Structure 1
Amino acid sequence: MRVSTNQFYNLNTQNITGLQSNTNKILQEISSGKRVNTAKDDPVGAIMIENLRQQNVQLNQYKSNITLANNRLTQLESRLGEYENQLLSTRDKLLQGNDGALGASDRSALALDIREEMEAIIALANNQDEGGNYLFAGFQTDTVPFVKDANGDVVYMGDDGRRRATIADGVSVPVSENGQRLFMASPNASGDYRADYSNAIMSGEQFFVESAKIIDPATHVPGPFEIQFLDDGAGNVDVQVVDGGGAVLLPPQPFDASQPLQFNGMEVAMTGEPSIGDRVGLDQQSEVDIFSIMNRAAEMLEDPAGLGDPVVQAEYAQLIADITETQIHASVVRAETGNYLRSLDTFEDQHLSMELVTSSAQSTLEDLDYAKAITEFEKQSLALNTVTQTFGKVNNLTLFNYI
């Protein structure tokens, strides 16, 4: 076969250029420490590396979210602890005020303490975080959540939102608590209905509605209702229940405090010894707010007549039961916050472990084997030098060298 000088020159030039390109590529890998610097180095590997990088970016974002959530929940948990202590102090004052040996001035002093405690709870409920956002305003973080209206009643100006932080794929946790749930919606101690002692009649011994709950929503028709105690004709006490229109829901039957009353899909448990002619109304109310409880307790303690009347005693006992339930409610919310904090630790550990796995996988795909690369570099350099020198010598040869 005949090989032209031009063809010989082009073939060797291409060979040298290819060796130089390979040598430069290896030199670039050694310089960067990476086996894959561009997609053409390893198209499949480059895609996998980019996916791993994106996964690490996402993991870093989740870790940042966890740090922020941890700070906010820690602050929230601290405020909830303060609230629990304030409720405990208030409950102790209510129990102290129920002592029949106290005089009017002693009760007034306790009422003042309760009002001061209420102001402290309002101040806590209006706390702000380091960014000036109100902790218990829901999504209305720039609105003062609790204010007093013209009547002196505490009203909530926020909403029922709870800010959340995404801490993993498809997983988010609340990082705030709204004031509606925490301060304005504690469970009513007696359940779904509340006794109206202010309009009750207790002519003899005190009686008390321990619970009034809906047990069969399908058959229940909302009230109000009235529990009436009647003469059975022989001087014994019967009990009946009527609705707001006077229709009988529970026909007269002997009253037995050990057996709850069942009517209209409800169950009502009572204690005490009602007399013939006594009565008490039930209004539907499943939630109470701490400020109304404290305000009413202070009003009752400020009354010069004291707490001796059976009706007053029953209402005061209801307030004590309510604040006890409110304290339990606050403890539940605080426990939820603690669980969220614990879940943050769990997910942070998972993210750290996953980060190690992805970093290791990325390193396997991307990082350079220096020993292998240096050996290949030396091999390519030697081949390049050899080919270059050989081509230079052959290129200068002509027929006249042998004539």
Structure 2
Amino acid sequence: MRVSTQSFYQQSQSAMNSLQTNLLRTQQQIGAMTKILAPSDDPLGATRALAVSQSIALGAQYSASRGQAKQTLSLEDNALSSVTTILQNIKGLLVKAGGTLTDADRGAIATELKSNMDQLQGLANTDDGNGQFLFAGFKSGSAPFVNQGGNVVYAGDQGQRMMQVDVSRQMAGTDDGRSIFQSVQGGAGYVTTSGATNTGSGVFSATSVVDLAHADYGKDFSITFSGTGTAADPLMYALDTVPAQAIPPTPAVFTAGSPISFGGLQLNISGTPAAGDSFKVSTAKNAGTDVFATISDVINALKKPMDNAGPGAQANVLNALSTANRKITNAHDNVLTVRTSVGSRLQELDALETTGAGRTLYDKSYLSDLQDLDYPAAIAEFYQRQTALQASQQTFVSIQKIALFNYL
């Protein structure tokens, strides 16, 4: 068989070009550290690698969101921890104020309570270090609790900034100030208050629950006194719901210290109430839930002179302290509940981070299997192709020198 010179050159050039192309591709794979240089190299593998890369990128974004949520929730937890300490201090001051003190002593306690309230307002206006207030809801650009005419009012809203911390999980990164400082839990205790115009020496005790199944349990009640307390006109009290029922209540004779039962509740009143005096027993929600207003009210009560006042004024202060103590206890319980929720969210973030890290590790391992280059095999292939190319080139050079004229 005769092979023409032209055919020989074409076949040799084609073979060397193919070998050179394969060698170049192996060099590119080693340089790029991947075995897929173009989707055409492995269409299925390239498609899977793209999907896995997107999953890894999405996981990184979720991880960043979890980190941001953890930061804000940790700041909130620290703030609520300080709030809890302040509320405990306030409860201690209220107990202390109920002792035998002078007007100066009560004034000093009132000053200390004012200092605690200012600290509480400062904590309620905690920001994240970037000018965003934690407890302002969606109005995070301005302080949520402001002083207006001596009263601390809430200027934020009840929005919660939600963060996407996983594929199907949104989490509140903060809580609004109203739900923390102006709310109580559903199971908070009843609050008893004395009438603003009371003149008698009646002092109420803590309200206890004796029958949760009572038909009137959960309603607000009023206790109103009448009579002069003489044999001819004994001191009487009447119980009624608020708002008042259509049928007036039947009065009963009052005996100091004897339990008064109503609506599944029980209350003791010591001292001697005057005719016209009243006491209101309200659910925690209806009694007023603003912790700042509660502290302000008890400060005003402690500032009133009592050294030369009668039993009626002293009873009003003791009742004001009892009311404030109950409300502060309810507020303290509410803050603890919110802090528990914050702790649960932080714990969930840790669990999601562990799950996300495991998922990312699996995705990276799978991506490595899809596109990472086997360096030992690639280097061996490189040298193999390089040797084949060199052999082909040397063969071509040697063969092209063969001619009949060399043997004549």
Give the gaps of 5 or more residues in structure 1: none
- What's the secondary structure of 1:162's corresponding residue? coil
Give the gaps of 5 or more residues in structure 2: 228-233
Q: Point out the structure with the larger strand share.
A: 1
| 1:375 paired to 2:374 | no
Report the Cα distance in structure 1 between the residues aligned to 2:109 and 2:303, rounded to whole angstroms: 9
- 1:268-283 equivalent positions in 2, closer than 5 A: 268-272=265-269, 280-281=279-280
Q: Is residue 12–residue 391 contact of structure 1 (8 Å, CA) maintained in 2?
A: yes
Could you tell me which amino acid in structure 2 is paired with residue 291 of structure 1? F
Q: Which residue among 361, 368, 371 is the counterpart of 1:363?
A: 368
How many angstroms does 1:331 deviate by?
Answer: 1.9
| 1:142 paired to 2:135 | no
- 1:64-143 equivalent positions in 2, closer than 5 A: 64-99=64-99, 101-143=100-142
- 1:224-263 equivalent positions in 2, closer than 5 A: 226-227=222-223, 240-242=239-241, 244=243, 246-248=245-247, 261-262=262-263
The more displaced of 61-70 and 193-202 is: 193-202
- What's the secondary structure of 2:50's corresponding residue? helix
Distance 1:275 1:103, change over 3 A: closer
| 1:324 paired to 2:329 | yes
- What's the secondary structure of 1:87's corresponding residue? helix
Q: How many residues align?
A: 393
1:136-179: CA deviation from partner (whole Å, max 9, x where unpaired): 212212112111223x2211111112223332212233322321
The more displaced of 298-307 and 205-214 is: 205-214
Report the Cα distance in structure 2 between the residues aligned to 1:188 and 1:161, rounded to whole angstroms: 20
Report the Cα distance in structure 2 between the residues aligned to 1:88 and 1:112, rounded to whole angstroms: 17
- 1:307-322 equivalent positions in 2, closer than 5 A: 309=312, 310=315, 312-322=317-327
Report the Cα distance in structure 2 between the residues aligned to 1:338 and 1:298, rounded to whole angstroms: 33
Could you tell me which amino acid in structure 1 is paired with residue 160 of structure 2? R
Q: Which residue among 195, 200, 209 is the counterpart of 1:198?
A: 195
Aligned-pair identity (%): 26
2:61 corresponds to: 61
The more displaced of 152-161 and 174-183 is: 174-183
| 1:43 paired to 2:37 | no
Distance 1:79 1:352, change over 3 A: same
TM-score, normalising length from structure 2?
0.79
Q: Is residue 199–residue 281 contact of structure 1 (8 Å, CA) maintained in 2?
A: no
Question: Over the residues paired in the alignment, what is the CA RMSD in angstroms?
Answer: 4.1
How many angstroms does 1:376 deviate by?
Answer: 2.0
How many angstroms does 1:311 deviate by?
Answer: 5.5
- What's the secondary structure of 2:136's corresponding residue? coil
2:207 corresponds to: 210
- What's the secondary structure of 1:288's corresponding residue? coil
Report the Cα distance in structure 2 between the residues aligned to 1:356 and 1:298, rounded to whole angstroms: 59
Could you tell me which amino acid in structure 1 is paired with residue 101 of structure 2? L
Q: Is residue 217–residue 265 contact of structure 2 (8 Å, CA) maintained in 1?
A: no
Report the Cα distance in structure 2 between the residues aligned to 1:205 and 1:382, rounded to whole angstroms: 109
Report the Cα distance in structure 1 between the residues aligned to 2:250 and 2:284, rounded to whole angstroms: 24
TM-score, normalising length from structure 1?
0.80
How many angstroms does 1:400 deviate by?
Answer: 7.1
2:359 corresponds to: 354
Could you tell me which amino acid in structure 2 is paired with residue 114 of structure 1? L
- What's the secondary structure of 1:186's corresponding residue? coil
Q: Which residue among 174, 180, 186 is the counterpart of 1:182?
A: 180
| 1:165 paired to 2:163 | yes
Report the Cα distance in structure 2 between the residues aligned to 1:34 and 1:79, rounded to whole angstroms: 50
Could you tell me which amino acid in structure 1 is paired with residue 152 of structure 2? V
- What's the secondary structure of 1:144's corresponding residue? coil
Distance 1:202 1:268, change over 3 A: farther
Report the Cα distance in structure 2 between the residues aligned to 1:247 and 1:385, rounded to whole angstroms: 112
1:288-341: CA deviation from partner (whole Å, max 9, x where unpaired): 111111011111112224795456534431211111121122222222222322
1:334 corresponds to: 339
Distance 1:270 1:170, change over 3 A: same
Q: Is residue 229–residue 240 contact of structure 1 (8 Å, CA) maintained in 2?
A: no
Report the Cα distance in structure 2 between the residues aligned to 1:238 and 1:245, rounded to whole angstroms: 15
Q: Which residue among 151, 154, 170 is the counterpart of 1:153?
A: 151
Report the Cα distance in structure 1 between the residues aligned to 2:84 and 2:77, rounded to whole angstroms: 11
Report the Cα distance in structure 1 between the residues aligned to 2:130 and 2:93, rounded to whole angstroms: 36
1:89-133: CA deviation from partner (whole Å, max 9, x where unpaired): 11111111111x112221121112111211221122223322122
Report the Cα distance in structure 1 between the residues aligned to 2:146 and 2:336, rounded to whole angstroms: 24
1:298 corresponds to: 299
- What's the secondary structure of 2:174's corresponding residue? coil
Report the Cα distance in structure 2 between the residues aligned to 1:40 and 1:392, rounded to whole angstroms: 35
Distance 1:213 1:20, change over 3 A: farther
1:288 corresponds to: 289
Distance 1:190 1:58, change over 3 A: closer
Q: Is residue 146–residue 152 contact of structure 2 (8 Å, CA) maintained in 1?
A: yes
2:231 corresponds to: none
